[in-house]
Chains A and B, each alone.
Chain A
């Protein structure tokens, strides 16, 4: 009995001490709603120094939370419970959030730094006239490969994935839109296709790729590529950049037939309690200095032209991350297909997955 009581007291004392420590560490955190800004972003998707700088410049205390998928983020915003002032969803999710009335229109007079953004990345189909969102990072879907392991294939065409020499060597990301989209692109169709014929054809074509497919996985692909244990993978440009940073042998290519262009954009959700602060933060992130510093830290491509002038020449002239305008012509942004066609894509992806082995 005595030891039970002792243990209880010990736990309470330790907890109290830890509480005190946590409180001391997060000191300076204003508890009032007016002067705090709650940001909901992807993990490891911002330079922490920028948050400190922002706090110093504006006196607004920042609460920073992270999520790992668009869907999870949307659920939490929809349910309320936390007053998120800024979120960073991808383009198709912005379209969905707009439909569900979860976003607050931006007041552009409070975001003068919007002028720093490449007009090419503004006024896109998922958000006309950027009423609700401004670009944060962007990238493409392509093929990362290890030249020493694949012979003389250079993946300038999706067809190269079907090369017989790649038997059981190809890794694919586990995403219906990415993989089915790749099938559609390889046939020269749009990756937003709503044509059942085209979708059928793309799936049949993908099924012929089955002998080459080694696995359909997620982030595990990064260490495999870095350690030269895998030779070819379909993946996002940002993930490829991470791999190439660790293993300089690797290369990345976006095939000529076209591919996906994706965006993560900053938005202000309906839950926001500090709309002025949110605008201030967006404007702060769009400044040339913040944009450059953030892109340096995160490694994804920035849509901020002014920031690109401040960055390493070698990085911004690298067409693997910053494709030429000519190549951009072939790229397409995902459209929201609606629940019916999203289900259809998922079904076809499942059919393809089952054909493997």
Chain B
């Protein structure tokens, strides 16, 4: 960091301002007593109070976070195993086909994925609600995780595995002690990307919510018809706060483990 030239620092600062300004602008007005985003009258917490008094909204907020966490977790597990599976396929044609199939899912429009899930779920008889939303989110997150984990696997030196096997490691040991620790940054990256995908997905989620189970994106979309109220700002502020908490938590976990690793050395 200390090696950065002044111009690089200025550039970096500008980039960060551009990225964060809209979010802070939004959060700033969530404390406005004026009732709109036009002019700031005075400080108030009434919009946050409104969120906490509306238990329906609060349940939706919690649901959104639960779905995001669980779907990201499940899709990370599936996606990581999938990526390892794809790498172990020897036939390069087969491997490319698998990869392309994975990529097709990433670029296919959300609306189509959502509509097909709705048709599938109602046909199979899965009740729309928590389970259907979770399944749909897992489904569209898995390909992303695969894509995040794959580069790490490809960059790994195959002789590491051979060496471990030569030294008497079992297949389980190789997986647990060589491959997984090596690709760990990719796994976390995949997890966080899946998390954000799940948090902000509207198109797929709209089709598969039902029976009283809804997520924030769906709710905010229908609220926006009457103009964005400052309650939406307050919720966004809360979501941003939760996201920051998660990232800080992740930072602590990684810095602690790397410290311990250094200590072992």
Contact = CB atoms under 8 A, between A and B. Distances in A.
Nearest to A43: B222
B25 interface: no
A9 B205 CA distance: 26
Contact residues of A: prevailing secondary structure: helix
A35 B227 CA distance: 34
B38 A226 contact: yes
Interface string B180-195: 1100100110010000
B146 to A, nearest CB: 17
Nearest to A238: B226
Interface residues of B, number: 56
Contact of B210 (A12, A25, A65): A65
B53 to A, nearest CB: 9
A256 to B, nearest CB: 29
Interface residues of A, number: 48
Given A43-B223, A81-B128, A10 B249 contact: yes
A272 interface: no
A64 B56 contact: yes
Interface in B217-265: 218-219, 221-227, 229, 249-250, 253-254, 257
Nearest to A19: B66
Interface in A67-123: 67-68, 72, 75-76, 79-83
A66 B223 contact: yes
Contact of B184 (A4, A25, A68): A4
Contacts of A242: 226-227
Interface of A: 1-4, 6-8, 10-12, 14-15, 18-19, 21-22, 25-26, 29, 38, 42-45, 48, 63-68, 72, 75-76, 79-83, 219, 222-223, 226-227, 239, 242, 246, 298
Given A11-B69, A15-B70, A82-B128, 13 more contacts: A1-B181, A7-B188, A15-B69, A44-B225, A64-B56, A65-B209, A66-B223, A68-B222, A75-B115, A81-B128, A82-B210, A219-B227, A242-B227
